[in-house]
Structures are given as C-alpha cells and as structure tokens.
Structure 1
Amino acid sequence: MRWRGERESDNIEDGRGMSGGGKVAIGGGIGAIIVLVIGLLTGKDFSSLLNTSQDPSVTQSANNGPRAPRSDDSTAHFVSVVLASTEDVWSKIYRDNNMQYQQPKLRMFDEAVQSACGNASAAMGPFYCPADQKVYIDLSFCNELKERFRAPGNFAIAYVVAHEVGHHVQNLMGISEQVQRQRSRLSEADYNKLSVKLELQADFLAGVWAFHANQMRGILEPGDLESALTAANAIGDDKLQKEAQGYVVPDAFTHGTSQQRMYWFKRGFESGNLNLGRFQDIR
C-alpha cells in the first residue's frame, strides 16, 4: 500500500507506554475468538480478559508530551494514515448522501486499556467501542498478524483498521444497536448468527473503503488485495477453532468462516457499492 507522504489523522490518541485497564465492544478479532475457544475447551470463564464492569467514566488520557522513539513508531504512523484515509472516504460517501460523517477516534495502547466498554487486554485484538466511538489497537497485534497468522503486508493491517471503522459506520447507522437489542431475546446460537452478520458486514465496509480509497488516491500496489484476503482467511472462526481444538463448532461462530470473510471483503472491494452489503442480505 502506498502511504508515505499521505495525510495522518488528527483523531489519534497515543497511549503507548501507559498501563490501563456498559456496552459490549464490537469486533474483538483474533484474540477474542481465541479466548472464547479456550473457554469452550476448558469450561472456564475467561470473559474477564475481554471486558469488566469497572466504571466506564474512568479513562486514561493520552500522553501528548515528547517521548523516546519506539520500534513501532512506523506502524503507528501507518495506522494514522489509514485512519485518515477512512475519514476521507466515509466523509465523501456521507456527503454524497447529504449526511455528515462523525469521525471516530483511534487509541493505541500497550497490553491493556480501559474504554467506555470496560477494560480490555491486548489478547482481545483490535476492537471498536460504540459507547465512546473509539477504535482500540495494541500495535503488537500487527506483528502477530504477520508472524503468527502469516498475513504479511501492510494492507493486511489496513484491512483490520478499516474493519473496525466499519463497526463505527454500523454504529452511526443504528445497526449495532438493533443487533444488541436482540441479545436478551435470542438463544446464544441465534444471537451468534447476528454477530456473524455484523462482522461480515464490517468486512464488506472495509472493502468499500479500499475501493474508494484507491479511486481517490491510488493507494493500492500489487499484492495488496491478496494481503487483505490472507488476513481475512486467517481470522475465520472455522480456521481458528480447527487450530485451537481440532474441530469446528458452527453454533459458536461469532465472526464468520474464512470463506465468508474473504467473500464479503472482496464484494465490497470490487463494487464499492453500499447497496450490495445490506445487513439483511449478509449470509
């Protein structure tokens, strides 16, 4: 992905080097799936790794003062450029539909963070909190994506960031709240099906971003699409369950299969048409 010299976002909160610890965070990604799989295997509750009931009003402020250079500074700049690109794309899409896009914040953290959705460990992976409209990411995940899940290339990281921003778009559209309302009315298996649809639509929206970002700025380079699809394949529920426990439990899916995730990202990427990814049509 061509990104050097591109605009960086002003909506970055850099909490790296700081420790920290309502609504459920959306889009926990690889770490959240692994934590849930371990719980199924052992019969133990590891939900404390994902969320706590601490007062969501207690937050940590970002350190805006000078800091020593870090090995992940280049990744931080890249993530900031990707966020800026999502701002440009979604602002234009909203403007074209006579609406105003509300830009999310993105908070970088190390190991643990407290959001308005509660505490989260880096094991959860990147996530979006609708209560404070922020995307959260521990940049060590970017290395994990490359080394552990064999999804190299910076466009794999861009796909993940755009996916979480996709959850923000769903929040603005009221889709997330509609799904959340169903939690107490449905069985776990049926609610998981709605969760899968939410994740697959976020993959589709990430593809829509990529289509329009390339139209606007020509950001794509050879191999970028393959890089994103490799990442989507790596974090499918079926693939992760198979690796963790040797078998697949479809009723426990919360993010979709590898094939589904690749299909919906590619559908958004090839069309850029929001009408092709309506929630009721996701499956």
Structure 2
Amino acid sequence: MRWQGGRQSDNVEDLRDENGGAQGGFRQGGFGGGGGLIGPAFQLVRGGGISGIIILVVAFFGMQAIGLDPIQFLLTGNLAPTQQAQAPGQKLGASSGPRNDEMTQFVRTVLAETEDVWSGIFKAKGATYAPPTTVLFSNQVRSACGFASAASGPFYCPGDRKVYIDLSFYNELANRFGASGDFAEAYVLAHEVGHHVQNLLGILPRFNQMRQSMSQDDANKMSVRVELQADCFAGIWGYYTNQEGIVEQGDLEEAINAAHQIGDDTIQKRTQGYVVPETFNHGTSAQRAEWFSRGYNSGKLEACDTFKGDI
C-alpha cells in the first residue's frame, strides 16, 4: 500500500502516554449502538479470564438519507451508554501529547483517505460528510459508551462519534490472527469508519429507540448484517483507494485474509475448539470476506444492502 506522502488527517486524538497508562480494566457499558471489529468470543479469551465483558454490537439499517431505499430493521443491545463524570475520551493516566511515529502517520493517512472517499460519496448524494474523530489510546480509555480496555479491540462509539483503537491491536492482528500487512491494518480502520457512516445515515440512533423489542437471537442475526455492511463499506473505501493507485499487488489478499481470520466461526474454533452459530454477531469468515469484496469490486452503496435476502 503506497500510503507514504499522502495527506494526514487532523481528526485524531492521541491519548497515549509513555508508560502505557493504567493496567487492567474492562468495558462496563455496551457500545450503545456502536460497533467493533471483533466479537465477544475473542475479547473474553484475550482479557485473561476477566468476567463481565458484555459487548453486543447493534444497529438499525437505513439509507434514505443518501438516496437509497430504506429497510426497516432493528438491532438490540444489552447496556445503555454509561453516564460518567469523567469526560468521554479521557485517558486514565497522563498524556504525553501527540506522537509522530510511523504507525501514527499511517493511521492519519488512512483516515484522510476515508475522509476523502466518504466526502465524495456524500457530496454526490447532496449531503455533507462529517468525519469521526479517532482516539489512539493505550491499555484503557473512557468513551461516551463506557469504559474500555485494549482487550475490547477497536470500536466505534456513536455517543461521541469517535473511533477508538489501541495500536497494539495490530500486533495481535498479525501474531494471533495471522493477518499482517498495511492494507489489513487499514481495513480495520475502514471498518470502524463504516460504522460511523451507518451512524450518520440514522442507523444507530434509530436502533437505540427500539432495541428492547428484539430477542437476543434476533439481535445477533441483525448484528451480523450490520457488521457485514461495515465490512462492505470498508470495501468501498478500498475500491476508491485502488482507483487512486495506492493499492499494490497483494494488498487485496491481505484485507480479505484479515476479514477471514476475524470471522465468528474462525475465532470460536481458535478460542474454544467449536462453533456456536446462534451466538454469531459479526458474520462467518466466508461472509466477511465476501461482503468486503462486494464493496471493493463495485464501489457502490447499493451493493452493500446486507438487509435484503440471504447473506
């Protein structure tokens, strides 16, 4: 991926500190209608035996705001956004200020690419794209959706419209999941930005109004469709990035491999030795790879209607 030399986004909050911040901790609140890259099965194992992690990604699909046919679906969640005296996004520990290492530059460049892509798509639909802020943290952080540790993985919080990521996750992605490469890492960010796009379209706010009406099984099924759509949106970003000549040979394979490695079935096989399909809430490896590819091959929002027919 030819990312060096590209524009870098200013929509980044670097809340890391030199000592890595306080240790331990876990998310006490749910996403509040947001979304993450991976499911609870991985988080529970990676958390080192910590109990009480309940993360259910939930959302409602609608595209009318940008000229597409709306689909009336709802997704439920377990916990409402927590109300904390501490400001959302505040790091639990001192901050040493913004860094300018190569990984930070990479993140800023990828985010700038997502901003350019989605600004163009929204503009073509007569709308204005408001990019999310991305928060870089180490070990733990507090968002408008609750308290989170690095064990939660990257996530998006609609309450403050921010993407949160501990960059150590990229080591986890390569070493634990076997998904290395800069385009695989870029896919992670593009997926979370995809959740932000869903939020702007009214998907996540609408869900929060009606989530209590759904059963856990229905919530899981709808969550899969929501996550696959975020994968497809990430693919759309990849499509336009490829058009700009940034994508290199082998990059697409890196992203598809990453999508495959973080499928619910693959994670469950790796962590517990067997799969429980009714608990899937992000999609199987095959589904995640397929929907990313759909977005990448078409570059069209219409291709990302995961709420129509079978998936």
Does the pair score TM above 0.5? yes
How far 1:45 sits from its partner (Å)? 3.1
The residue that corresponds to 2:66 in the other structure is none
How far 1:30 sits from its partner (Å)? 3.2
| 1:46 partner amino acid | I
Aligned-partner Cα distance in 1 for 2:307–2:294: 15
- Is 1:58 aligned to 2:65, yes or no? no
Aligned-partner Cα distance in 2 for 1:259–1:56: 42
| 1:9 partner amino acid | S
Q: Does structure 2 conserve the Cα–Cα contact (< 8 Å) formed by 1:113 and 1:119?
A: yes
How far 1:37 sits from its partner (Å)? 7.0
The residue that corresponds to 2:139 in the other structure is 111
- Is 1:271 aligned to 2:298, yes or no? yes
In the TM superposition, what are the counterparts of 1:1-283 in structure 2 within 5 Å? Answer: 1-17=1-17, 19=21, 24=32, 26-30=34-38, 32-35=40-43, 45-47=52-54, 53-55=82-84, 58-59=87-88, 60=90, 63=95, 65=97, 73-215=101-243, 217-281=244-308, 283=311
Aligned-partner Cα distance in 2 for 1:146–1:38: 15
Aligned-partner Cα distance in 2 for 1:65–1:205: 32
How far 1:16 sits from its partner (Å)? 1.1
Gaps of 5+ in 1: none
| 1:275 partner amino acid | E
The residue that corresponds to 2:70 in the other structure is none
Deviations 1:218-275 (A, max 9, x none): 1100100000011001100001111111111111111000000000000000000111
Gaps of 5+ in 2: 58-78
Q: How many residues align?
A: 275
Of 181-190 and 254-263, the range deviating more from structure 2: 181-190
**Tell me, what secondary structure is at the counterpart of 1:184?**
helix
| Percent identity (aligned) | 53
Q: Does structure 1 conserve the Cα–Cα contact (< 8 Å) formed by 2:15 and 2:97?
A: no
**Tell me, what secondary structure is at the counterpart of 2:213?**
coil
Comparing both structures, which one devotes a greater share of its residues to helix? 1
Aligned-partner Cα distance in 2 for 1:118–1:56: 11
| Distance verdict in 2 for CA 1:56–1:244, change over 3 Å | farther
How far 1:29 sits from its partner (Å)? 2.5
| Distance verdict in 2 for CA 1:28–1:36, change over 3 Å | farther
Query: With structure 2 as the length reference, what TM-score do the two structures score?
Result: 0.81
Query: With structure 1 as the length reference, what TM-score do the two structures score?
Result: 0.88
Q: Does structure 2 conserve the Cα–Cα contact (< 8 Å) formed by 1:56 and 1:115?
A: no
How far 1:189 sits from its partner (Å)? 1.0
Deviations 1:85-129 (A, max 9, x none): 000000011111111001100010000011111110100110000
How far 1:181 sits from its partner (Å)? 3.9
Deviations 1:56-83 (A, max 9, x none): 752327957476x7xxx21111011000
Deviations 1:188-212 (A, max 9, x none): 1110111111100000000001101
Higher relative contact order (CA 8 A, sep 6+): 2
| Distance verdict in 2 for CA 1:279–1:56, change over 3 Å | farther
**Tell me, what secondary structure is at the counterpart of 2:14?**
strand
Q: Does structure 2 conserve the Cα–Cα contact (< 8 Å) formed by 1:26 and 1:127?
A: yes
Q: Does structure 2 conserve the Cα–Cα contact (< 8 Å) formed by 1:200 and 1:255?
A: yes
The residue that corresponds to 2:72 in the other structure is none
Deviations 1:4-45 (A, max 9, x none): 100100101111116477752633333644235799xx9x53
